[in-house]
Chains A and B, each alone.
Chain A
């Protein structure tokens, strides 16, 4: 049972982080290979504040999220004006720079050895509530002027600009929102594992999250949620085959990307409309 709870918590934390990637890559079409860095910032700032400076929990969490957003601003400002091909490189470099920074600030962050003794504040209810709230915020964002304009600029940036959309500002706002979400997932992560180390936040993690979004169907939020559960939860359950876990995961992803390129959900989204159609049809089926 404990094991099941732990899996749910990890999946929930990952989901919040992946939501950040969904916003940036799925909604706005930007490829960021440095999202893990925001998770690191969120986790480390909250841990250091609570552990070293005895800051109370709520302000520490708020400051950690703010720090992640500040970092997102610093990276985002130059990035949103760059060509699409470069964004992955700059975000990757940023991520590695953050990891290097964490490795080298041993006096504050414990360097490569990491930081331990973080209080365990993340419980199942906390994670579940967080997931519901974050998912709700992202759904709202998607169905508002922000989401629409992001999808527009993803489809055709030039046409979007010609329709009056300030693409730079929009990319930046999305980047900040994603940074906040991912930073928060880092906070939850640190408060669950009670231990953080820089090596856990490299670009491979960011790449894996991006892969999850694509496997779910880059156009579908529902797909992102399902894929996170599948690709994060499943490996945990496959723990018995631990050596081959990652290899099996990769094979699953390769199969989906190659044979169902649109992702698990493709274009479909679970919404009141589609639910009505699914159930309405069966109800109203002619005799």
Chain B
């Protein structure tokens, strides 16, 4: 049984077929890439898997359990974490609190324990705070724990999104254009970070990216989407050699053009 198996994902918005019969999957510890020109339906696929949009058709199996049709927060708690293409951090909270909040849904204490300052409440608060601190250290943000996320430079905000996603204890981590806006040295750092995290936690990672450096270095398998349909799939070498993929991105080679 695969860790994540998505079958026949289909979604239309009005007359536009955003995702058309797209099937993909990931095994434990695998890093899988999803690439394609802009508007190909990659983020939509992520939104369908995480329950942001309802599916028209298809099934999402995590460790064999069906997730399609469930609420977003149920899907997340089942083990699917994510980051966002346009950074969506919690502006009203500090950096540390952003990460703590992602762990809070797993906290068991109730209002009674809270209002009586009971042991369960105090213990859990310490745990969550410590765990959040650790996640921040993993991505190198421990110095910024009390900062407001909007004060962080862009690259660090992206790291914070990852730390926050880690706190949801994911079995599968969905990264949506995590390297967008990063300069080359930040990209290299990021590639290293993802590898480390995968080693440490053993989860599967699905990455949507346009930066080929990231995809080719990290991914063992790639899916190529175009106009919502699966265009090609395979190892990085196979996909790179695939003519259809090149055409989708750049266009056909025109023999009459000679420079």
Contact = CB atoms under 8 A, between A and B. Distances in A.
A158 B88 contact: yes
A158 B104 contact: no
Given A140-B117, A165-B101, A148 B93 contact: yes
Interface stretch (A4-12, A56-64, A110-118, A149-157): A149-157
B71 A161 contact: yes
A155 B111 contact: no
A160 B164 CA distance: 11
Interface stretch (B13-21, B36-44, B72-80, B218-226): B72-80
Contacts of A140: 114-115, 117
Max chain B C-beta neighbours (<10 A), residue from A140, A154, A155, A167: A155
B209 interface: no
Contact of A151 (B93, B102, B164): B93
Interface string A159-200: 111111111000001000100000000000000000000000
B72 A151 contact: no
Max chain B C-beta neighbours (<10 A), residue from A137, A151, A177: A151
Contact of A166 (B88, B105, B107): B105
A86 interface: no
Interface string A129-155: 000000001001100111011011011
Interface in A242-263: none
Contacts, number: 92
Please classify how large the interface on chain B is, using the bins under 10, 10 to 19, 20 to 34, 35 or more: 35 or more
Contact of A167 (B73, B90, B111): B73
B101 A141 contact: no
Interface in B89-140: 89-93, 97-98, 100-102, 104-107, 109, 111, 114-115, 117, 121, 124-125, 128
Contact of A165 (B88, B104, B124): B104
A177 B114 CA distance: 13
Max chain A C-beta neighbours (<10 A), residue from B50, B76, B82, B109: B76
B59 interface: no
A162 B114 CA distance: 25
Please classify how large the interface on chain A is, using the bins under 10, 10 to 19, 20 to 34, 35 or more: 20 to 34
A154 B102 CA distance: 14
Contact of B92 (A141, A154, A161): A154
B10 interface: no
B84 interface: yes
A145 B128 contact: yes
A155 B76 contact: no
Nearest to B52: A158
Nearest to A176: B111
Contacts of A161: 71-73, 76
Max chain A C-beta neighbours (<10 A), residue from B92, B102, B128, B164: B92
A159 B71 CA distance: 13
Contacts of B164: 163
Contacts of A166: 71, 73, 105
Given A148-B97, A159-B84, A163-B164, 11 more contacts: A140-B117, A152-B92, A155-B89, A156-B88, A158-B52, A160-B90, A160-B101, A161-B72, A162-B50, A162-B82, A164-B106
- Nearest 6 pairs of A and B residues by beta carbon: A145-B104, A161-B72, A159-B88, A164-B76, A164-B105, A155-B90
5 contacts: A144-B121, A148-B97, A151-B90, A152-B101, A159-B90
Interface of A: 137, 140-141, 144-146, 148-149, 151-152, 154-156, 158-167, 173, 177, 219
